Amino acid sequence: MLLLTSPRIREHEITDRSVYLDRRRFLALGAAGALAMAALPARAAPLAAAKSGFTLAETLTTKEAVTGYNNFIELGNSKEAPAQLGPAYFRPQPWSVSVDGECAKPGTIAFEDLVSPHKLEERIYRMRCVEAWSMVIPWIGIPLADVIKRFEPNSKAKYVEFNTLVDPERLPGQRFSMYDWPYVEALRLDEAMNPLALLAVGLYGEELRPQNGAPIRLVVPWKYGFKSVKSIVRIRFTETAPRTTWMRIAPKEYGFYANVNPEVDHPRWSQGSERRIGEFLRRKTLPFNGYAEQVAGLYSSLDLVANF
Ligand code: MTE
C-alpha cells in the first residue's frame, strides 16, 4: 500500500530512520529470494471448480499480472517482491485455522477439513486496490457465509476478524519491525454473510500461490483490496469492532468500512478513477466497485463519507 512514499519526497525524508533501515535490509533479502527462487518451479497445482453465476463481461487481467504484481507486505514492499520471495520462503502446508470468540463451535480446524465440505466455485470479480489500480480475477473459493454458519456465531457476535499467519521464517517481512503483526482485517458480521464474500483457495484454475495469499484468503470485491486479508490462520467473532492493521498504522487514511467510493478521495490522491492493469486509459471508479446492487443496502443507515 502507498503509505510512506510519494513521487516528490524521498522515503528516508518522511520515514522513521529505523523503519527506513529495516526496509533497506528487506530489499537486500528480496535479492536473495530472487536467487533462491530461480531453483524453484514457478507452477501451482491445478484446481477444478464449477463455474458460478458470479461472472463479468470484462476482460480478465492476465495470470502473469495477477500472480506477479502483488501487495503482501509480509513478503516485501515492492509489487514484484511477493512473487520472488513467496515461492522461496513460504510453504502453506500443513495449515490450520483457529476459530474463537463469540461462537458455539470454537476450535482449530485443518485447512482440508475447513474447505472439503464445500463445493469449490469459480467467481470472476473486479478487485480495486486503494492505490487506484484494479484487476479482474477468476477466483476459486467457497462462500464465506457457509463457512461462518458452521461455527455458529452467537447473538453477541457483531463482527468477524481475520488474522494472517505470523511466522518470520516463512514470511520474512515479519523479521523487520515495520508493522505490528499479524495483519488483521475484519468485517461486520452482516457484511461477511453477504453472498459476494468469498474465501478463496485458488485462481485461474490453480491453487493459490504464496504471493496471492495461499492457502486461503478473503475476497470482498466491493471493498478496497486491503480488506481482502491473505493466508488466514485465525477467525474470531467479536462484539465490538476490531482494530484493523491499516486503521492502526494510518487512521486518517484508512477506515474500517473501506467500501470502494469514487466520491471519497484518499487524503493524498483521488479515488475517482483507476488504472485497470493491462489497459492504457483510466476508467471511472464505480461505487462499491460495481456491486452496489448487491451490497448498498448493508449501509443504508451509514454516512459513508464520514465512515470511510
Ligand atoms: N494481506 C496481508 N496479510 N498482507 C498484505 O500486505 N495486502 C492487501 C490485501 N491483503 C495484504 C493483504 C492489499 S493492499 C491488496 S490490494 C490485496 O491483498 C492484493 O491482493 P493480490 O496481491 O492477490 O492482488
Q: How far is the CA of 173 from the centre of ligand 1 (A)?
A: 14
The predicted structure's pLDDT at residue 53: 97
Local structure of 168: helix, strand or coil? coil
Domain-located, residue 1: no
Residue nearest to atom 19 of ligand 1 (CA): 71
Domain-located, residue 6: no
- What is the pLDDT of the chain when averaged over all its residues? 89
Average pLDDT (195-199) is 99
**203 CA closest ligand 1 atom index:** 23
Q: Are 226 and 131 in contact (CB under 8 A)?
A: no
Tell me the CA distances in angstroms from 134 to 124, 125, 130, 184, 186, one per residue in order: 13, 10, 9, 22, 21
The total number of structural domains in the chain stands at 1
Q: How far is the CA of 155 from the centre of ligand 1 (A)?
A: 31
pLDDT tens, residue by residue, 248-285? 999 999 999 999 999 999 999 999 999 999 999 999 99
Domain-located, residue 109: yes
Dist. CA 249–CA 226, nearest whole Å: 13
The set of cell numbers assigned to 96 is: 490450520
Indicate the pLDDT class of residue 30, thresholds 50, 70 and 90. Answer: low
Domain-located, residue 77: yes
Indicate the pLDDT class of residue 14, thresholds 50, 70 and 90. Answer: very low
**Ligand 1 pocket residue status of 183, Cβ below 6 Å:** yes
Q: State which amino acid sits at residue 143.
A: P
**Ligand 1 pocket residue status of 225, Cβ below 6 Å:** yes
**Ligand 1 pocket residue status of 204, Cβ below 6 Å:** no
Residue nearest to atom 8 of ligand 1 (CA): 226
**Ligand 1 pocket residue status of 131, Cβ below 6 Å:** no
Dist. CA 255–CA 149, nearest whole Å: 27
**Ligand 1 pocket residue status of 271, Cβ below 6 Å:** no
The set of cell numbers assigned to 169 is: 521464517
Tell whether the model's pLDDT for residue 39 goes beyond 80. Answer: no
The predicted structure's pLDDT at residue 152: 98
Q: Of 130, 220, 226, which is best to mutate to test ligand 1, by the most ligand atoms within 8 angstroms of its C-beta?
A: 226
Distance in Å from the first CA to the final CA of the chain: 17
Domain-located, residue 5: no
What residue numbers bound the domain in which 155 lies? 11-299
Tell whether the model's pLDDT for residue 235 goes beyond 60. Answer: yes
The predicted structure's pLDDT at residue 1: 66
Q: What's the CATH code of the domain at 199?
A: 3.90.420.10
Residue listed under C-alpha cell 491499516: 246
Q: How far is the CA of 300 from the centre of ligand 1 (A)?
A: 28
Domain-located, residue 281: yes
Q: How far is the CA of 171 from the centre of ligand 1 (A)?
A: 14
**Listed residue (182, 178, 185, 162) closest to 170, CA to CA:** 182
Domain-located, residue 206: yes
Q: Are 220 and 228 in contact (CB under 8 A)?
A: yes
pLDDT tens, residue by residue, 118-145? 999 999 999 999 999 999 999 999 999 9
pLDDT-wise least confident of 33-37, 180-184, 188-192, 214-218? 33-37
Q: How far is the CA of 221 from the centre of ligand 1 (A)?
A: 13
Q: Are 240 and 186 in contact (CB under 8 A)?
A: no
**Ligand 1 pocket residue status of 73, Cβ below 6 Å:** yes
Domain-located, residue 218: yes
pLDDT-wise least confident of 14-28, 95-109, 201-215? 14-28
Residue nearest to atom 14 of ligand 1 (CA): 226
**Ligand 1 pocket residue status of 226, Cβ below 6 Å:** yes
**137 CA closest ligand 1 atom index:** 24
Q: Report the predicted TM-score, pTM, of the whole model to 2 decimal places.
A: 0.90
- CB atoms inside a 10 Å sphere around CB 54: 17
Tell whether the model's pLDDT for residue 293 goes beyond 80. Answer: yes
**Ligand 1 pocket residue status of 308, Cβ below 6 Å:** no
Q: How far is the CA of 72 from the centre of ligand 1 (A)?
A: 5
Q: How far is the CA of 84 from the centre of ligand 1 (A)?
A: 15
**69 CA closest ligand 1 atom index:** 22
Q: How far is the CA of 75 from the centre of ligand 1 (A)?
A: 10
